[in-house]
Amino acid sequence: MVKLKSTGIVRKVDELGRIVLPIELRRTLDIAEKDSLEIYMDGPSIVLRKYQPACIFCDDAKDVIMFHGKNICPKCIKSLQESLTQE
């Protein structure tokens, strides 16, 4: 169970369902304009997390590149190459 930390910030949802993330929060979490956030649900709570595309093979999110619409990491590319040359 993740312990929730209250920011003390209350925001109203507008007519289009939007809320503004306070600048202090964006600075703290290094969220820039046009960054993607992934929306999670935890019971009655909504959790926003910076979206990081993960490798389809190992779930690693480091230096992931997109290939034919799928995300793959350098490690898996390398092991793929190695397994192909071993044949």
Judged by the rule CB under 5 A, the positions of this chain that interact with Zn ion are 55, 57-58, 60, 73, 76
CB of 51 to Zn ion, least distance (A): 17
Q: Would you call 46 exposed, middle or buried from its count of C-beta atoms within 10 A (0-12, 13-18, 19+)? A: exposed
DSSP summary character for residue 17: S
CA 19 – CA 26 distance, rounded (Å): 13
**Smaller CB distance to Zn ion: residue 37 or 56?**
56
**Smaller CB distance to Zn ion: residue 31 or 61?**
61
CB of 1 to Zn ion, least distance (A): 29
